[in-house]
Structure 1
Amino acid sequence: MIIGVGIDVCDVERFSQTLERRPGLVARLFTPAEAFRTPASLAARFAAKEALAKALGAPQGMSWQDAEIVTDDAGRPSFVVRGTVAAQAEAAGVVSIHVSLSHDAGIASAVVVCEG
């Protein structure tokens, strides 16, 4: 059963400029394993975290660090959730989180489906 669906888009150039103006934002939004990626990849990961929050009903108090995008050997993304995000997912009855990322023509996007 689908618990929630979220989608988000992010302008890569604007996101990159924001990160340049606020260097501490990278550490606040991304885990060390995510932080080394290109601006387009970071924008897609930010969009995924936003989409996940929407799929969970946009609850307050979730830490960006508690939702990490990892990729398998084939490049397929997935979420690793812990702490505040895992607690929200559990409370909503989520047992599986599906994520798709894309970036092209200066726009990064993500779709998240939470399944119970």
Structure 2
Amino acid sequence: MIVGIGLDVVEVDRMAQLLARRGEAALRRLFTPAEVDHCRGEPHPAASFAARFAAKEALLKALGTGWQGGVRWIDVEVVRPDAAAPQLQLHGRTAQLAARRGVTRCHLSLTHTAQWAAAVVVLEAA
């Protein structure tokens, strides 16, 4: 049963500007070390960072909680095990919120162009 759907769109240039202004501090606050390594290895890092940022926002929209109650950006991580399709890995307070809602599976779709990045998250419960 679907218990949540979230969508977010991010302007790639805005992400690039944020990273240029805030640098490493922004990276440490918004992304896990694995996400930073992955995005830096991509041909268009700003688009990859923007897509991951959109995924984090979409997940919180799907949960219906927003950024409250101790949720941190790095509690939502986009992983690609064995170069498979991107997946969400939840940590800390975000994992607790998902468990409380009965979430058993998170579906994630990412896309980006030179100008825009988007993510859709669908949450399932048993």
Same fold (TM over 0.5): yes
Structure 1 residue corresponding to 2:101, chosen from 75, 84, 92:
92
TM-align CA RMSD: 1.1
* TM-score, normalisation: structure 2: 0.87
Equivalent AA in structure 2 for residue 56 of structure 1: L
Q: After the TM superposition, which of the residue ranges 85-94 and 65-74 deviates more from structure 2?
A: 65-74
The offset of 1:90, in angstroms, is: 0.6
The offset of 1:47, in angstroms, is: 0.1
Instruction: Provide the C-alpha distance between the structure 1 equivalents of 2:81 and 2:99, rounded to a whole number of angstroms.
Output: 24
Superposed CA deviations along residues 65-96 of structure 1, whole A, max 9, x for unmatched, are 11110113344000111111100101111111
Instruction: Provide the C-alpha distance between the structure 1 equivalents of 2:114 and 2:14, rounded to a whole number of angstroms.
Output: 13
1:47 aligns with 2:54: yes
Structure 2 gaps of 5+ residues are 40-44
The offset of 1:64, in angstroms, is: 1.1
Secondary structure, counterpart of 2:109 in structure 1: strand
* TM-score, normalisation: structure 1: 0.94
Name the counterpart of 1:65. Answer: 74
* Count of residues in Structure 1 that have an aligned counterpart in Structure 2: 116
Equivalent AA in structure 2 for residue 104 of structure 1: T
Q: Select the structure that is richer in helix.
A: 2
Q: After the TM superposition, which of the residue ranges 67-76 and 34-43 deviates more from structure 2?
A: 67-76
Instruction: Provide the C-alpha distance between the structure 2 equivalents of 1:95 and 1:9, rounded to a whole number of angstroms.
Output: 25
Q: Which consecutive segments of 4 or more residues in structure 1 shift more than 4 A?
A: none
The offset of 1:33, in angstroms, is: 0.3
Superposed CA deviations along residues 3-45 of structure 1, whole A, max 9, x for unmatched, are 1000000000111101111121110010000013111111000
Q: Percent identity between the aligned chains?
A: 52
